[in-house]
Amino acid sequence: MHLLKLRAGPWRFAPTLWPTLAALFFFVLTLSLGNWQSGRADAKRELQARYDAAVREAPIHVGGDLLDRDSVLYRKLEVEGVFDDAHTILIDNRVLNGVAGYHVLTPLRIHGGPVAVLVNRGWVAAGRTRDQVPVPPTPEGVVSLEGMAVDPHTRYFELADTVPQGRVWQNLDFERYAMAIRLKLQPVLLLQTSEQADGLRRSWPRPDTGVALHVSYAFQWYSLAATLAALWLIMNVKRDRDGDARFSSSE
């Protein structure tokens, strides 16, 4: 059954019901998915703008009270305390400029209270063999630091559910670490930006909420919707071979 019958010279356009309904369903579906991804991209743009503004704001002083994680993410923090080197861990498989190494994480016992904040102090190159685990120096006494607060629950890719081997961890399991050291930790990881004479490299990437990924997905869905529409038109436009202006009686 044809929905309509149109002619233009030797060309005729006569879409049938069920193929048209199927094409319409998938067109609406892909268009909706594209709109959803576009909405996600807009939301991430707003979040990215807030993060970029937070980086430029004055640092928040960290004391003994627990921070609200969501309100301080990607904000600059300042803190004073003493490093607890006995609980330093090295996060494995961190690469900087093509060189394998570790991120050095040490809790800082905040001055004047029972709370600590876990500090990512920076990157150190790996040894010549896996047995040569680096031991970077840790500043002694009271230190004052500045850094950027990030979510400590972001997991890095790992090939298997591995168990930490001494100071070397495949990734940061924040809850496991807090239970292991038996310290009350602030709910953020501090990426240290203050310079210290410890030989560590501190090169932190700009916070990225993933706007480009959602834009890419939206483009793919919109492209698929456009392709479906084009195919529906092409498959329903036909040329009469005999030039007869009338549709056959079977139609």
Sign of CA dihedral 198, 203, 204, 206: positive
Total domains present in the chain? 2
**β-bridge mates for residue 7, sequence order:** 12
Query: Do both 80 and 188 map to the same domain?
Result: yes
Q: What is the rounded distance in angstroms from the CA atom of residue 73 to the CA atom of residue 218?
A: 27
Average pLDDT score over the chain: 85
Q: Which of 141, 169, 192 is the last residue of a domain?
A: 192
pTM value is 0.69
Sign of CA dihedral 5, 8, 9, 11: negative
User: Residue 154 is part of which domain span?
Assistant: 75-192
Query: Do both 82 and 177 map to the same domain?
Result: yes
Query: Do both 2 and 52 map to the same domain?
Result: yes
Under 8 Å between Cβ of 202 and 122: yes
- Least confident piece of the model among 70-79, 84-93, 154-163: 154-163
The predicted pLDDT at position 13 comes to: 78
Query: Do both 143 and 108 map to the same domain?
Result: yes
Query: Do both 42 and 87 map to the same domain?
Result: no
The predicted pLDDT at position 81 comes to: 94
pLDDT at 107 over 90: yes
What ranges make up the beta strands (E) of 97-208? 99-110, 115-125, 142-150, 168-169, 184-192
Domain assignment present for 67 = no
The predicted pLDDT at position 19 comes to: 85
Give tens-digit pLDDT for 135-190: 889 999 999 999 999 888 765 444 445 545 578 998 888 888 888 888 899 999 99
Query: Do both 9 and 41 map to the same domain?
Result: yes
Q: What is the rounded distance in angstroms from the CA atom of residue 80 to the CA atom of residue 250?
A: 87
Domain assignment present for 224 = yes
Query: Do both 40 and 85 map to the same domain?
Result: no
Query: Do both 187 and 82 map to the same domain?
Result: yes
Domain assignment present for 199 = no
Average pLDDT of span 83-103:
92
